Amino acid sequence: MSSYLSSVHVARWYRLVRTIGVGAFGNVHECEVVLSNGLAASRRLAVKILRDSNDAENVGRFAREANLLRGLKHPNLIRAMEINLSHNPPYFVMELMQEVLSTRLERMMSQDTVYRAKPALESVLLPLCKAVAHLHFRNIYHRDIKPANIFFDSKDNPILGDFGICNERRLGSAQLTWCGLGTPWYTAPETLRSGIASPQSDIFSLGIVLHEMLTGSRPCAIGGTPVVLGLLCSIPEAAMVSSMTCSLK
């Protein structure tokens, strides 16, 4: 176990095993459940821990994500099993996922293969659309739908996770692009320009994910520098749509 993991204490009944994800303001770790006799149970879980509890903005976002998860019940949305915001550092516990879509796509590309249309639509995209519709019905916008935030459980069901910037209806363009909030390659161009999220912007992101599943690449392979992203934000929407339409042909 790394010195970092051994230095982070959650609760006495959880033992951190390894880091499995690093987000903008919280890290996700695989953990063992420690029984009363000190032995570890066979089942392992995932725990998300706030990285900097001294940053009031990050604490607020972490609490908002945890409270959102508390109220969500859908088979294709990540579920919080325990939330402890009064602990230092704050954390919440989730089911441990088996695989991430981004990792699966990388493996498939290394084998020179991609998803076929029917399995991609029926087994992955349709369940995710239902999950996103569930969010939108409650006026919740995910804002960061991408393969790295789509997981698969033990039954290979797709699960949408990472609600770190959910419900932030408006963010500055800097936050959306080169400061780590939102992922420009999957973000609708009008949201990149205005910072305003909508149901349509989540649907756009789902479309980019589907394109990547079917082709192995994103339709808009742009660079990640502030200069390039700034140029992208300045492109008229009609021109952006025309460009993406051409790439899909």
CA distance 216 to 209: 10
144 is catalytic: yes
Closest listed residue to residue 219, CA positions, set 186, 192, 197, 193: 186
Whether the Cβ atoms of residue 209 and residue 145 lie closer than 8 Å to each other: yes
Q: Catalytic residue among 55, 144, 153, 156, which?
A: 144
Q: Give Dmax over CA atoms of the chain in angstroms.
A: 64
Q: Is 58 left (phi over 0), alpha (psi -120 to 50) or beta?
A: alpha
Helical spans, DSSP H, in 120-198:
126-137, 173-176, 189-194
Parallel, antiparallel or unpaired: strands 14-22 and 91-95: unpaired
For residue 9, the SS3 value is coil
Catalytic (active-site) positions:
144
